[in-house]
Each structure stands twice: as C-alpha cells, then as structure tokens.
Amino acid sequence: MEKFSLHKWNPIECKNASEIEQVLRQFDIPGKTISAVHVIGMANNFRPYDISLIVEGLKKEGFSEEDIFTGRVSGSSKRLPLAADIYEPVVFFFDDGSTLEFMNSKFSKAVLVASNQILPYCSEGLNHSNFHSEYFFRMLKGMSFFRPC
C-alpha cells in the first residue's frame, strides 16, 4: 500500500471561492457524482477508539445511524465531533474513477486542490488513519458537485 507524500503531491493553491470554482471547472468536476470520500492520515482531535464507542453507545440508546451522523441525537449526552482537525488531504472519489483532493494550507489562508494525484488505495500519509471518514461523509455518496453557471 502506497503512503501519501506531501512532497510528491502537486496541488493548486486557491485563495478564494472564485479561484476554487475556476479550478473545479478546469478539472471538469461540476456534475460528477461522488462515490466515496476518504481522509488521508489522521484527525488530530480524535483518539482511535472514540468514534466507534460513541456510535455504539448512541445505537444502544435507540438512535439510528442516520440520526447519529446528522446530529439528531437530542436527549443524549453523547455527541460525535462536528469537526476534524486534519493535516492531510480529503479525497473525493467520483463514479467515473476520477478524484478531487482538498487540503487546507498550513502556511497560508488558502486551500490546496488537486485532481487524480492520490491513488485509490492510498490510506495513510504521515500518520495512520484514526477514524472512519466514510462515517462522516456517507451522506455525500451519490451527490454531485454543483454545476456553476
């Protein structure tokens, strides 16, 4: 299994929404259907077992997975984190086999965007993955990116 390398990755730096839209058009992303979303590496604010323990506890309280992952768990003291502190890319996989990769720049207020550079079987980078990104992003499966005017 190949590891992600920040030194081999060659993204485009986008500093505002219009630059991101321009890059998405350049990569022919609008209208593509998401088949999966994967986070490379770990989320710094999660411990490896936290999410599964929270999910199992909420299921025992009678909440469905849809309730859990959409935040509809009123009456319970257990909550899933609503944000992940991620230092490696988030990869969107599309039904046509292409990918879109996003990452916040650590050095500027920019988003780094690339397409078709991270292999589908790449699961980790500097660190081992410590949460199931498919849980957080499962509602996006089957959705399409916007089609700009």
27/89 same-domain check = yes
32/72 same-domain check = no
68/3 same-domain check = no
Q: Tell me, what's the pLDDT at 149?
A: 46
37/94 same-domain check = yes
104/148 same-domain check = yes
Write down the H helix ranges in 10-139. 17-26, 50-60, 65-69, 133-137
Mean pLDDT of the chain: 80
6/64 same-domain check = no
Read off the pLDDT of each residue in 42-68 and give the average, rounded to a whole number: 74
92/29 same-domain check = yes
Q: How many domains does the chain have?
A: 2
29/73 same-domain check = no
119/95 same-domain check = yes
Q: Is the pTM of this model over 0.85?
A: no
Confidence band for 15, pLDDT divided at 50, 70 and 90: very high
**Apex 138 CA angle, 2 and 29, nearest 5:** 70
Comparison of pLDDT for 39 and 114, the residue scoring more = 114
**34 with 94: CB under 8 angstroms?**
yes
Comparison of pLDDT for 100 and 1, the residue scoring more = 100
Choosing from 31, 61, 80, the residue where a domain stops is 80
Domain that holds residue 130: 1-45+84-149
